[in-house]
Chains A and B, each alone.
Chain A
Amino acid sequence: MKNIIKVALLLLMAVGAVSCNLNKYPSYAVLADEGFLTYDDATKFRNGMYYYARQCFSGYSILPINLQAEGVNPTLDYGNMYGYYYSWNFRDSEGEVAQLWTYCYGAIGQINYFIENATRILAENDEIVAAGETGLTETEIADLNLFIGEAYCLRAMINHQLAINYCKDYDPATASQDWGIIITEKFDFEKTLGREKMDKTYEKIMEDIGNAETAIQTALGETHRENYVDIWTVRALKAKVLLEMHEYTDAANLAVTLVNKFPLISDQSSFKTLWQNDQGSEVIFQFYASNQEGRTQMGEIFLHDPNNNGAVLNPYYLPTQWILDQYVNTDIRFKTYFERRNIRIGSTAYNLYVVSKYPGNPAYNTQTGINEHYQSVRPFRSGDFALIAAEGFAMGGDEGQANTWLKNLRTARIPDYTHTDLSGEELMDAIKMERLKELYMEGNRIADLKRWGEPMSRLGHTPQDPEAVISESVDLVIEPTDYRFVWPIPQSEYMQNHNLDGQLNWK
């Protein structure tokens, strides 16, 4: 009997041995209540905010919309890579359409969370100091205010990115009736909102720009930082927004200060360095990138190299003969953007021009000797702004200044360029063509056509070799009134957000 008791005791011990701790926490994350309490947390959340913002401007936000435009032919081997965009067959459930939207609003959620918590830390600090205790240092307070300013700038950039892709062109006459974007200023996942009208959307973007300007000017003055938002980033964004709002002269004047600060490159090798190494005087703002983070694959579709030895390429897209014909041979852009290479399509060999604008930054490769075709994410460079200046002045009625800036850009890009002043429609046509040539495959084209109310037309654009490319959509013309000119509100949004009933672009 004694033994039985002993064993029974053993059993009881076994019962007790089981840990009964029912509060289990992961080791990959901390509880949200404990995650954003200090100045130090804020510096880390600021990094997170830049990380999310960077996602909103990387390759996939540029590539599909590039291929909607003119200037490329898919090869027989393209495997329908971005084919739905090239042929304008994309649907509102398409991955890229949903992804850009989801990334943008995900980033805005994180930015709002940052602004709320950083502001709370500052407010709590006021109470701590008022109670006579030691609070944050002066530098820390200044930093927090600067970070909040950066947050406003990033939010404005992302809202602008959404407006460019998912809204009609801003027209002051109809802005109070046209649908803009959903504006969220607080992180509240339980609340869905409808779209604001276009005027309110741009008002909010300008409001964020104003807040960012004040905070950043106070903290940094005119200091330039390439990988973090500074006053120049805010101005670049503002110039673009003003141009869309038809505030032409203001846009142009702001653009001029930017080009003066970030001079145009005029020699071949520096221009190549800009595209290959993501370095140069024209860089206004680009997100940080290395081979460990933040790189975006841009050139793969143009330079696919199955053997990784550079000998024979097998591209998915080739430049059209028509776009090649728009450049003079001496143009440093022509020599940088295009290159004649040995390629193979199917079992057949060719020697044709390929798009070499995104040749792959060697510093971003992870494997020795293999070009992975990655570049930095670069929202603003001054070449764009020289032409914004030209367009702004032309539209604002100052044809003299418009000619000056068209000339400035062409002089930088084309050796021995001599300028003949243009006027009226001829001037605007020249500026438009220059934007196409300067910003080829930089993701601006569809927004530009929208702004000008012009069709996307591939009519008469001959390929380099019709045998190497598909004939589908080769002569496609999309009128500016076509509903597809605006990306659709993604299915994933409108299925869950009934505030959008009747506010969709497509249905």
Chain B
Amino acid sequence: MRKIVLSVFTTLLLCFQLAAQTQRVTGTVTDATTGETLMGATVFVTGTNNATITGANGDYTIDVPANATLTIEYLGYASQVVSVAPGQTVIDVQLAEDNEEIEQIVVIGYGTGREVGTITGSVSVVDAQIINEQSVMNVTDALAGQIPGASIMTSSGEPSASSSIRIHGYGSLSAGTEPLYVIDGIPSSGNQFLAINSNDIESIVTLKDASATSIYGSRAANGVIYVTTKKGRKNQNASFSFRGSYGLSEPVNNYMSNMSANDLLLWERYFGEISAADLANYQALLEAYGPTDWFRYIYQTAPAYSGEFSVSGGSENISYYVSGSYNNQDGMAPGSSMERYTMRTNLSAQATSWLRLDLSLAGSADKRETTQTAQTSQGINITSVTNFPIYMPSYMTKYDADGNKYIEFPNRFYDPYYVMSKAPGYGRNHLLNGNVALTITPVKGLTITSRNGLDGAYSTTTFSNLPSHFAYKDAGNRVRAFSQYYTLTTSNTAEYKFSLPNRDHDLSVLVGQEGIDYYSDAFQVSTQNQVDDRLMLLSNGTTVLINNVAESNTSYNMLSFFGRVNYGYKNKYVFDVTLRNDASSKFGPDNRNALFYAIGGMWNAKEEKFLYNSKVVSDLKVRLTYGTQGNSDIGLYDHLALVGADLKYANGIGKYLGSVGNNMLGWETQALLNASVEIGFWNWLAISAGYYHRATSNMLFSVPYAPSTGITARMENVLKMVNQGVDLDISATFFHNKDWNVGASLTFSYNDNKITKLYGETTEIPLPDYMKIYKEGHSANNYYMPIFMGVDPLDGRPMYDDGNGNPVKDTNLAANIMLDKEIYAPMYGGFNLFASWKGLSLQANFTYQINKWLLNGDRFFREHTIMSSQIQRPEYMKNIWREPGQITDIPRYGENTIYSTQYLEDASYLRLKNLTIAYQLPDNLMKKTGFIKGIKVSAQFRNLWTLTKFTGTDPEYDSNIVYGMYPNARMYTFGLEITF
């Protein structure tokens, strides 16, 4: 130890002695692959403002202090650091393009950036190119299949839909399962993430293991998605970029079987669903107008377009990135659309030699219309836009016998176009996300940062029933809702980094504090009896009912302290230790503080003598981390016993015991173990394999109570659950030279979920309403429902397993049985193929889910002969049981079928999520123009192709049962990008 201290001391002394000596260095910067010279590259003495820019031939000259290092940066290339040996005067540098195997710098939670290769935890970096190429409003959808261990699905084709994201399985049953989003260093929210224009994103880093996430403490149990937006570079001329795109959407395949119009009419008459008079009426109309394809009627081709610009650059002390974008996407169904504006400014100013100021500010405004959501209580909601195309029988015509267009069809369905035009509604969101950071470097190696973020939104919705709507009889109504929230976050850190020459010892120590102040409020009012479609303000109504007035507000605070020590020896061994303490107002005073920790280690075996010169093994790293995180994503006041006062009796206020509370309510804690190996061969094949064991305990769970106790549920810390699995990530570059680049990558994840402990004496919690059971030793995601055993040929009645393998026909005796089929696919991932030749490039991104099961609710309702009548039926309903002896799977008419394995389908799928073909016009052509740096044209196809056995509208639905789904859109987009 003394030796180390001594050597530190002498090194420092040396630095001071030699500080005054400088030497002049010249050289040329070229492209490592093509050998072309690079004009405009920045060359600077590392850690100083001493910089220059390469000239037309890629040449530069700079005065360098002895023993210093030079950093060379160029847009689109990996920056490079070279040390200047004493007396060295010529240094030629070859820069490699970004997509090559080079060390990336990532920020993983408070503190300055680190090379990916020196982090003890496994982090997944998504190449910005993949996100930037895709002109989508929902960035999460573009990530599907890209992050090993993350399952991403989009359950709706609404333009404003967001996606579900789960990292390493569901870690919680009652609390939130969304990862924590950190945007430019400030913990933020999923809606802010979605509001980022995809082209503003520099990188998305997913933190999955303990050593990377524990520093985020009580909010990190579901992983962390760390987003860095683009920044300008110092000493760089302004670079302008314009992009525009136009696209068309249509629904992905519809796999449903439909009986023909005439057959369906006869079928319905046979079973008495329609009267003889009805049959004649419908047949006459059918004769006159022909059958209708209602799916095509509702889902029509819809356009989308976008325009964006960005400028980035920098002078000696200032760098900037400024962008703006506009997106407009029409929905395929009536009354669905989204329109969005975003803008962003990222500024950095080196105010003094020791103080840097950073501002990152983004705003967005959007307007979105969504179709009414499909719901069901008994039977289907026949006014829902998305149910209409699935259940509307094809014999129904758009016009009646007099040639008038139907508004309400004889089977009670309303025309969705009429409904959406007479009951218009839309929402507007205004989001603001930004932070200001002061970074002080008082002495070399010490960085003190105060980062202060504001994350806020203001949202309104407007909904009207117009007086001209036939059912409102000239008495319309209007609902307005307003809500806003802000989160103020301050995080203050001090980090000391210290390295010995040759990186024999790397040490960094971080301490910090974070405070969060959250506030939200909302109110909603509706008035009635508006008489004119054009005068629909609240004040145009005549009546306000007190039940239609609502107001609420909530707040919470959190105070945290944290620290991290990271030590590296010769770049071979890296260790780190993390600690964090959180205190939150969401929990009971008896259980408010929580301490989280993590330890991690990494062995970079490639640096060892036995591998150092290996031509075969180009990379080998082993990582092991263990640590704890928490989940505090529950209601803000769940721990309190409360008396409410919003009931009414005889115009008087009624008080009541609203909740019984739980003083002991605390964090859900998670212990996470990760082990991974990263191995590279011949510099073109990289394989990374990881194992994780994610044990959640004190799980926040809304424990059901018998209603006779007076309450029905209470939030408690009870269950224990384990998710464990493996991630595999393989990437390969098959061919790479001056003109060609061909490669592929694959991610595969396997997750196994198991409940290990329930509460008290309870060994199972059956939740038949949700088709779930929580049982010790079994997955929380298994379906739990009656097993269908076919139809008795003698009487046509459906048979179900009674729990002992015997068939019963009384549905009350059908046993709910836990199946070995899971709601959430245990296996998922994606693969990418890319190929480029000169300026032409092709990229294909596939995503898949294996062993995913989904109850096809549309089939249930379309085949049900008690709950539904006068609706579209599948072709195979002709096989319905009609006479004794008939062998069929369709029970006789009028049987009360129930949710059972009869409707449970394999919804595994493989989907070509994205296919992009782009062409970058040749550089020499661009040079001739004198001012245009680049032109790129592209064609992009989303959800172009799907492979599945599922017979509903779309298998990419992330829940236990699907009906009336708005199918995902297949999009064809054409784009143009010009850079000056």
Residues of A bordering B, CB below 8 Å: 3-4, 7-8, 10-11, 14-15, 17-36, 41, 43-45, 47-52, 54, 76-77, 79-84, 87, 89, 91-93, 95, 98, 101-102, 105-106, 108-110, 112-113, 182, 184, 187-193, 227-228, 288, 290-294, 306-309, 314, 344-348, 366-370, 467-468, 470-472, 488, 490-497, 506
Contacts and interface: CB of A to CB of B under 8 A. Distances in A.
Given A79-B378, A306-B471, A472-B866, A188 B656 contact: no
B709 A191 contact: yes
Given A15-B515, A83-B378, A112-B710, A367 B490 contact: no
A496 B642 contact: no
A43 B648 CA distance: 12
B278 A182 contact: no
A497 B708 contact: yes
A31 B412 contact: no
A472 B586 CA distance: 54
B805 interface: no
B490 A30 contact: no
Interface residues of B, number: 108
A45 B652 CA distance: 10
Contacts of B769: 93
Nearest to A86: B866
A81 B554 contact: no
B885 interface: no
Given A79-B378, A309-B473, A347-B282, A30 B408 contact: no
Nearest to A91: B812
A20 B488 CA distance: 13
Given A93-B768, A109-B711, A347-B282, A47 B475 contact: no
Contacts of A92: 812
B402 interface: no
A47 B557 contact: no
Contacts of B354: 4
A363 B438 CA distance: 65
Contact of A18 (B490, B543, B640, B651): B490
Nearest to A188: B709
12 contacts: A3-B352, A18-B516, A32-B660, A36-B643, A44-B645, A50-B649, A80-B868, A109-B710, A192-B708, A293-B648, A488-B812, A493-B706
B835 interface: no
B174 interface: no
A467 B278 CA distance: 10
A497 B655 CA distance: 28
B348 to A, nearest CB: 17
Interface string B574-585: 000000000111
Contacts of B659: 29
A496 B528 contact: no
A292 B555 contact: no
> Top 3 A-B pairs ranked by shortest CB distance?
A109-B710, A35-B643, A18-B515
A179 B559 CA distance: 55
Contact of A80 (B412, B552, B647, B867): B867
Given A22-B592, A76-B869, A367 B653 contact: no
A491 to B, nearest CB: 7
Contacts of B709: 105, 109, 184, 188-192
B707 A492 contact: yes
Contact of A471 (B272, B471, B474, B714): B272
B273 A76 contact: yes
Contacts of A43: 652
B812 A367 contact: no
A346 B410 contact: yes
A106 B643 contact: no
B739 to A, nearest CB: 53
Interface in B711-726: 711-712, 714
B529 interface: yes
Contact of A292 (B547, B645, B766): B547
A412 B725 CA distance: 78
| Residue of A106, A309, A346, A495 ringed by the most chain B CB atoms within 10 A | A346
A288 B529 contact: no
B559 A48 contact: no
A48 B655 contact: yes
Nearest to B521: A27
A51 B648 contact: yes
B279 to A, nearest CB: 9
Given A292-B546, A367-B475, A472-B894, A102 B868 contact: no
A20 B641 contact: no
A418 B261 CA distance: 59
A58 B408 CA distance: 31
Nearest to A184: B708
B470 interface: yes
Contacts of A308: 470-473
Given A20-B559, A345-B275, 15 more contacts: A3-B355, A4-B440, A8-B440, A26-B642, A33-B641, A35-B643, A35-B655, A47-B649, A48-B649, A80-B867, A113-B710, A306-B471, A367-B472, A370-B475, A495-B704
Nearest to A33: B641
A54 B585 contact: no
Contacts of A228: 650
Contact of A7 (B440, B528, B586, B636): B440
Interface string B329-360: 00000000000000000000000101100000
B654 interface: yes
A367 B557 contact: no
Given A190-B709, A292-B546, A348-B277, A45 B557 contact: no
Given A32-B643, A346-B275, A471-B272, A47 B655 contact: yes
A32 B641 contact: yes
A144 to B, nearest CB: 15
A348 B709 CA distance: 51
Nearest to A493: B706
A493 B358 CA distance: 58
A47 B706 contact: no
Contacts of B273: 76
B929 interface: no
Contacts of B647: 47-48, 51
Contact of B706 (A18, A192, A292, A506): A192
Contact of B411 (A77, A193, A369): A77
B763 to A, nearest CB: 12
A189 B585 CA distance: 25
Interface in B618-676: 636-637, 640-661
A368 B652 contact: no
Given A29-B644, A33-B641, A91-B811, A106 B710 contact: yes
Contacts of A7: 355, 438, 440
Contacts of B408: 306-307
A81 B647 CA distance: 29
Contacts of B410: 344, 346-347
Contacts of A25: 637, 640
B379 interface: yes
Contacts of A105: 707-710
A499 to B, nearest CB: 9
Nearest to A495: B766
A24 B557 contact: yes
B515 A367 contact: no
Contacts of B765: 495
Contacts of B645: 29-30, 44
A303 B659 CA distance: 39
B450 A108 contact: no
B582 to A, nearest CB: 11
Interface in B511-560: 513, 515-517, 528-529, 542-543, 545-547, 552-557, 559
Given A8-B448, A491-B768, A52 B438 contact: no
Contacts of B651: 288, 290, 292-293
Given A48-B649, A77-B411, A492-B704, A87 B442 contact: no
A467 B275 contact: yes
Contacts of B50: none
